[in-house]
Every structure is written in structure tokens, then in C-alpha cells.
Amino acid sequence: MQSAYQLSTIYQILEEKNITDLHFKSRLEYYFPKISDLFEKLYLHHLKKEEALKKLLEILLENFDKRDLSLKKLDLERVQNPNWFSSEKIVGMMLYTDRFNENFKGIQNKIPYFKNLGINTLHLMPFLEVPEPENDGGYAVKNYRETNPKLGTMQDFENLAKELHLNEMNVVMDFVLNHCADSHEWAIKAKNGEEKYKDYFYFFKDRTLPDEYEKTMLEIFPDTAPGNFTWLEEQKEWVMTLFHNYQWDLNYKNPNVLVEMIDTLLFLANKGVDVFRLDAVAYMWKNIGRFNQNLPEVHFLLQIFKMSGQIVAPGIAYIAEAIVAPNEIIKYFGEGDAAGNECDVAYNATFMALSWEAIASQNTDLLRKSMNVVPKKPTNTTWINYARCHDDIGLGFEDYLIHELGKNPLQHRLYMLKYYCDGQENFGKGFRFMQEPNGNARLSGSMASLCGLEKAIELNDEYQIDLAIKKINLQHAIILSLGGIPMIYSGDEIATFNYYDYLNEEDKKHDNRWLHRPMMNWEIAQNLDNHPIQKTVFNSLKKMIEVRKNTPAFEDRNDLEWIDSGNSHLLVYKKTDKTGKNIWIIANFSPYETVFASWFIGINKNVRNLLTDETFTIQYQNFIGSYTVLWLEIE
């Protein structure tokens, strides 16, 4: 395709602006014609296309000029190591700033705590200015250029980011792309009838077009926010609101919206953000008669975001928050000529849900089967591996794979919900989230409570306490050894229970996901000697993180090999470092001691378990304890 912006035009503008940085010039020359081509695909007949493209070029120049020299230096270092985020040295933690330690200064004060545990990447949950009291946990943004006053100023955030960088730590932030709050400046201007800003959203005078859209749209929160459009009584119009009625969907069919959001992202990048979690990306483009997820235009938009970032701040990485089927999530890394030129990181959501399924069923067949059908991702991209996050646990398994195992998909999901929510053999204290008429639902609950520790302690059942601790350790051992970025949820390192006080908070009591978004318990965290169970969990995790960082095989090199050991209780896989050295991970997903064969390692081989430093000789059959994980290397 002929680029709308020729290199001669770019050279002329660089000369006019007196831009002399050779690295920046070469990146602009390489990426901007590609961005221009994508503009042609998205906005071929749009009257504002050329104006928006020219504005984008100006924005890239302005933001690079404003970028701090220390960040430019870091960019160049990372360009030399483009998959820096795939290193075995990276270990993340996600947290709500206020629930962890009040504000940005409070986070800064806890840097020694993170370093003691081994955490070097912090995902700070949404911290920009939001309306009160309802803001969807921070995902309804009122102002992208101001922080939530409760957490501190933008300068406080910048100070935190600088201090993290000085301590060789990274900061991840949520960038909400699909929608903004109805109190955002753009939305207020649209409410006041300004046509420019009405075109930033999807407005309709009657239900004719909304009804057509609805035919192919999912309902994201059918219980609390049914439908995808909200009636504005004062304006006598409908507006598109896929998530909640106070979150208006942005209209990316208007190129000025795209340019504004790129400018906003680069503004935040210049404040010290290392990684952007691009929220709800699957929904960014809507067409009548087409399913409202994963449209091709979404990928064009993400490529423009990524390449704009590559021009100004090439050290930044991007996470696709697209909780979709494996054959769709893989596309968010980029396909064909765009492979590796879209998002750098994606959530390994299927694995997360299946790890809980394997514990409930004491069987890893579905987990292994599902992983074997996930397409291979491009070079220099990676997964976030996690046992849980701020969201619910969706049971989004592939039905056909469950059928192949001779099980009924709905009944299998209902079994899982009963296992985790009804206090059966697991002692689980989870809650059903967004339950459907057929009983199917998603799952809420903290790791410790889902693993049975909360109830076991209530009953003073030493056996169940031991099993629960083992299950927590198993989940952490898995996410730390898969490769990619392990992301631990704040509080799980000290086995925090469900947080029931959310029921007393007016803006939270209707959403039981706050059950697993607890306030950090510093009385426990700072006095672990007085809390032996929590101390055991903390020290086990700390040891695993330390071993991971000293094991090059745990870098993500697309080398993960799933092994069918012949024992359905076991999950077995192999990681290999650059020198060819192998690490075998063997995890027992059952509450019983079982055995593993020797064929995939080799009989009579002397091995060392990296987690315990114990050595033994592999026999024909070898024992492994209940919910135990081995990280084995040949001596």
C-alpha cells in the first residue's frame, strides 16, 4: 500500500523541528510510514484522516522532546535486549495502592519489603482520577492526566517511579482504552451538545441501531449492568456503555480519538511507566452484524499504539488484557508481518483457570490437553502467569476438549463451583460471581480461602492446614517456573483470607470480587514470627523466587515442553536454558502421595531438587508427596 506519509515529508518535518537524535529519526522513518498505511486501512474515507495523521506526527515529536534523559537512556538499553521482560529475573506483584499502604508515598516506603521478598515489578492497579463513589475499581477514568487525589499527586507518582528505577524495579499501570467515565471532560462536552466530542462516543437518537448492535454483542455484567446502551434522559439519546452505565465507550472510528489516546499514553510513559496493561482491548472496535470482540480493526489500532510507543519510548512494553479463547489471544501478539509488533505480553488466563480445575479434579488431563492446542507465540513476546488477579476466575475452558475427556462441560463447571464454594473436601470458601440461570458462574475468593486455609484454621484441622499450604505453594511454584512474568497478587504472600468487610462499603458491596481484594495486613506481614502459618507461606515463596532468579532455564524462550508422564495426577514440563541445560518441573495435583516414572529424565540419573537442595537417584518409579512440586536438574 502506498504510504500517505512519504519519507521526504518526514525528513522535512525533522529538519524544521531541528530533531537531531539519530535513534529517534531512524525509528520515526521506519515506523511512521507503517502507521500511515494502517491509517489508510482504518480511515480510508474519513474526512479527518489527514488532519489526525499530521497531529499524530506532531504529538510524537513533542513527547520525545519532553522525555527525560534517564528514560531515553533506559530505552536504548532495552532496545539492545528487546525481550527484557521475559527474563527469569522478573517477578511481579499486583496491588491496589490504597489497600496496600495508603498512597504512593506508602508504596515507596515499602520498597524494602518488596526487595526482601524478591519482587521487582509492581503492577499498581488503576490510580488515575475517577468519579466517586462508583468507578468500577478505578476503570472508569475521569482524567487521564491526573492521579486519584487519595493516592497523591502526579508528582508523587513520578517520584515513586524514579525511586523504583533506582532500585532496579519496574512499574506497570492500567491504561483504560475502551471507555472513559461519563464525568470525563470529553463526555461532559458531549452532554453539552458539542458535536466534536459527541463524535468521541457512540450516540443514538432511538433504539434502531442499538438493537442491531445488540444482536451480536455480549453482556459483560448481565447481573449488575444488563444491556450495552444507556438512556440519557436529559439529552434524550442512547450512548454505548458495554461495561457500566457510567463508562462510555470511546469511538475509535474517529481517528482523533486514537490520536488523543496515543498522546495520553505517551504523556504517562514520560512519567516513568515501564509497562502498560492495555485494558479491555478486545472491545475497541464495534460494527453492526459482527461479534463485538477481536475484530481485525482492533489489531490495527494496537499496532498503531505499539509503533507510536516504539518511536518515542521503545523501552516500554505492552500487555494485552484480552481474556479470550487461546486461538484469539495469540493474535494479540501480532500475526504475519505484524508478528511481535502488537502487544509484548498477554495474560495466560486459560492456564490460570485450568490450574484451579486440575486441583479440583485431581487430574491434569484437561490442563495438558488445553495447553497443547495453544498456538506458539512470536519471538520476544511472553505471558503473564498468575494464579489469580483482581478479577474473578472465569471457567472459560474449551467445551470440545472437556467432551473429549468424556465429561459434560456444564456439569464439570458446576462440580468445580461446588468444590470451591460449598466447603466440601477442599474446605474452599469461594463465592459464585455472575451466576447464570443454569447454575454456571465465575469464581471469587482469595487464594488462601479457595485453597481451604481459612476454613481449616477455623476448625483447627492440622491436616487440612498442611494441605492448604501445599496448594498455595503449588500454585506459586507453577507460575514461577513456566517462563514469562509471574504475577503474585498482594496478600497471597502471607496467605490472606477473604475480605468480608467489603459488604460494609456502599460502593463495593454489590460486587463480590472485592472479596479477594483485601487490605494488606501489616500486623501479620511485619510480625511473621508471631504467625507461623503465614511465615511458612512467605518464606516458601521467597525461596522459590530466589531460585527462579538463579535458574536461567526459567527465562521465556518458547522452549516449554509439556510431558505426558502417564500419571494424570501429575503436571510435568521441561524448561531448557541457552546452554541446553534442562529443568524438569513435576507437580502433584492430588492430596495423595503418588509416583512418577523415570523415562523422561533417565533411570539412575542423579538429580537435585532446586527447591530443597536435596539430591536423589532417579529410579524406575519415584515418589512425590501430595500437592508437591519438584524442580529437578541433573547433577
Catalytic (active-site) positions: 279, 321
Q: What is the spatial distance between Cα 83 and Cα 344, in angstroms, rounded to a whole number?
A: 8
Cβ proximity of 491 and 522 under 8 Å = no
Backbone phi, psi, residue 433, to 5°: -120, 130
> Mapping DSSP to helix (H, G, I), strand (E, B) and coil, where does residue 615 land?
strand
Using CA atoms, how far residue 321 sits from 240, 379, 444, 498, in Å, is 21, 19, 19, 25
Backbone phi, psi, residue 229, to 5°: -140, 145
User: What burial letters (b/e) apply to 615-629, b meaning 16+ CB within 10 Å?
Assistant: eeebeeebebebbbb
**CA nearest to 151, candidates 169, 130, 122:** 130
- DSSP readout, 251-267? -TTSHHHHHHHHHHHHH
Direct distance between the N- and C-terminal alpha carbons of the chain, in angstroms, rounded to an integer: 56
Strand-pair partners of 133: none
**CA nearest to 219, candidates 210, 211, 228:** 228
**CA nearest to 304, candidates 37, 45, 50:** 37
Cβ proximity of 66 and 539 under 8 Å = no
Lookup result for grid cell 498477554: 346
Q: Are strands 621-624 and 345-347 parallel, antiparallel or unpaired?
A: unpaired
What sign results for the dihedral spanned by CA atoms 532, 537, 540, 545?
Answer: negative
- H helical segments located in 346-461: 349-361, 365-372, 399-404, 409-421, 447-450, 453-458
Question: For residue 67, which amino acid is it?
Answer: R
